[in-house]
Structure 1
C-alpha cells in the first residue's frame, strides 16, 4: 500500500508488515481448515452415511438421507462464508480522506498533519485521530493493523485463520463463518458419536480399522472446534448486541463511554423512527443489512450497499445522549 513520505520510513521498519513467516502461517491455516473439512467429509460421507444409505433400510436410510442433506447444506454455507471473509477487503481509509471539522455546517476539513495536535473534537463528539504509521487521518473506529501494514475501518481483529483483518466490510461474513462452523461441527460430532462410543466398547463396527481411525480423528477435531467456536460465537454476539468491537471492548477502560451502543435491537437493525428523518443513518443496519432474507447469507442487497454508511466504515450513528456527555 502506498504511504506518505512522512510515514514511509516508519512503515519500512514495521517488522510485522514484512514478516513472511506470519503471513505464511495464515495460508497454512487455510490449508488446515480445508484439511479438517476433507477428513470430516471422508468420515461422515464416504465412511459412514453413504454406506448406511446403500446397505441399511427403513429408518436408518431416512436418517442417513437427513444427515447427508443437512451436512452438505451447512458445508456449502460454511465455505461460502469462509472464503467471503478471506477474499473481501475489510476496508481501508480512502486516499486523502479528511475529517469534517463542522459536519452540520458542511465545512470540509483541509488540515494537514502538523495541525492535528491542535484540533478539538468536531461536532459529532469524536476526537480527530491521526495515524503516524500511515501518515493519514483515521475515521472513527479505525485502527492500524501491524500485520497488514495499514489502517482498517472498524477493525475488530486480525485473524490468521482467514489470512485477513476482520473489519467493516467483512465482519458479517466472519460472524456467519463462526455460526455455520458451529452448526456443522455440532452435527458431525452428534452423527459420529455412535461409532466413537463403539470404539471403546465391544459393539460390532462394520468399517475397516483405517476408516475407524479416521472417524475417531474427525470426531475429536469437530468436538474441539464446536466447543471453542461456541465461546467465540457467544463473545461476538455480545459484542454485536453492545455495538462494539473486540478492540473497543479492550479499550473500554480508557474509553468508558459506549457511544455507539444504541440499544440491543437497534444495534442489529436500526429503527427508522428512532432517528430524525433527515439523519443520514435512517434505515441503517449495523451489521446484517436491512433485508432479513439476507441475514444468513454472506452478502448484501444492492439497495443496502448504496444506503448503508456503516457498511462503508466511515461514519456511525451515536447514542442520542453522547454529545451531551462529551460536552
Structure 2
C-alpha cells in the first residue's frame, strides 16, 4: 500500500511538471495563431484593399483599425495575466481570529480530517503542503506548488494560475479574444465562401490555405471563448470562483455574495474608465481590500462569523 501511494504521488508530480512545460508551448501556440491571423487579415486581405480606393478602401480601413485596436488590448490583457502573480500568502501570515481571541487562546492546527475549505465552518485553515495558514478563499495549486489567493484555476494557456491579482486581466483576455476572433471571422467570411466557389480565384493556393486556416481557427476560438466568458461572468455575478462554485454546490447561501453590483466591483473596481483595461486605480486598491487578495467582505447576516 505504501509503495502504491508513493507511485501515485510520483505520477501526480510528473503530471504537474508536464503541465508547466505544456504552458510554455501554449504561449507559442497563441502567438502562432495571432501571426497566422495577422498575415491573413492584414497582409493578404485588407492591407492590399486599401490601395484599391473607393468604398472597398474605406471598409478595409475600418476593419484594420478595429482589428489592430482589439489586438493591442488582447495582447496587453494576455501578457498581464502571464506576468502578474495571482497572489501568494505573505510570510508568517496569521488569521485575524488570533487577535480577537488573544494570547490565551492560541491558534491550533486543523485535525487530521483534511484541509478546511467551507467558510461556514470557523476552523482555521492550514495547508500541510506549504506548511502555513491559509487566508480566506485561498487554495493550493499542485501545478505551481504553492497556495494561491482566491484561486480560480490553473490555466496552461497563460502558464500561470488565475487568482485574486490577475483574475480581472484573465476576464479581459477572454473578452477581447472573443471580440477579436469574431471580427476576424466576419472579415474573412467572404474569402472563406470564395474558397468554395467555382470561379477563378486570384489568390495563390498558399494564401487561400492560410485564409481558410485562419477562418476556421478564429471561428472555433470565438465559439469556445464565448461559452467560457459566459461561465466566468456568471461566477463574477455571484462573487465566486470555479473552485468555490464546485465546493458550494450544496450551499443555499453564499457568504461572499454582496449583490451583483458590488460583486462586479470586487473584481473590476469602481472606476468605469478602468473596467476595460488590465490595470487598477490606486484608490481602488486602497478602498477595496479584496483586490489585494487577503480580506473579503461578507453578507451582513454573516458578519459575526469567523472565516
Name 1:181's counterpart in structure 2.
177
Q: Which residue of 2 aligns with 1:4?
A: none
What corresponds to 1:3 in structure 2? none
Could you list the per-position Cα deviations for residues 278-316 of structure 1 after superposition, in whole angstroms to 9, with x for gaps in the alignment?
Answer: xxxxxxxx0111211010000012222333310111111
**Contact 2:268-2:275 within 8 A present in 1 as well:** yes
The residue number in structure 1 matching 2:276 is 296
2:65 is aligned to 69
Partners of 1:33 and 1:304 lie apart in 2 by: 32
> Take 1:266 and 1:108, find their aligned partners in 2: how far apart are those partners?
36
**Distance in 2, Cα, partners of 1:317 & 1:196:** 51
Distance 1:26 1:177 in 2: 16
Q: CA deviation at 1:263?
A: 1.1
Q: What's the counterpart of residue 20 of structure 2?
A: 23
Match 1:316 to one of 296, 300, 306: 296
The whole-number CA distance in structure 2 between the counterparts of 1:92 and 1:191 is 42
1:229 to 2:209 alignment: no
TM-score when scaled to structure 2? 0.88
The answer as to 2:21 corresponding to 1:41 is no
CA contact (8 A) 2:81 2:158 kept: yes
128, 141, 144: which one aligns with 1:145: 141
Q: Which structure features the higher share of helix residues? A: 2
- Name the CA distance, whole Å, in 1 between partners of 2:105 and 2:28: 46
Mapping for residues 1-327 of structure 1, pairs under 5 Å: 15-16=12-13, 19-54=16-51, 56-101=52-97, 105=100, 107=102, 111=106, 115-117=109-111, 126-253=122-249, 255-269=251-265, 286-323=266-303
Across the two proteins, how many residue pairs are aligned to each other?
295
Give RMSD over aligned pairs.
Answer: 2.8
Structure 2 stretches lacking a partner, 5+ long:
1-8
In structure 1, what is the Cα distance between the partners aligned to 2:49 and 2:217?
23
1:131 Cα offset (Å): 0.7
> How far apart are the structure 2 equivalents of 1:87 and 1:158?
14
Can you list the C-alpha shifts for 1:6-28, whole angstroms capped at 9, x where unaligned? xxxxxx96943884322110000
Alpha carbons 1:100, 1:107 under 8 Å: kept: no
Contact map agreement 1:100 1:106 (CA 8 A) in 2: no
TM-superposed deviation, 1:233 = 0.2
Check the 8 A contact 1:89/1:170 in 2, yes or no: yes
| Alpha-carbon distance in structure 1 between the residues aligned to 2:232 and 2:93 | 30
Distance 1:156 1:15, change over 3 A: same
Check whether the contact 1:268–1:288 (CA below 8 A) recurs between aligned residues.
Answer: yes
Other-structure match for 1:272: none
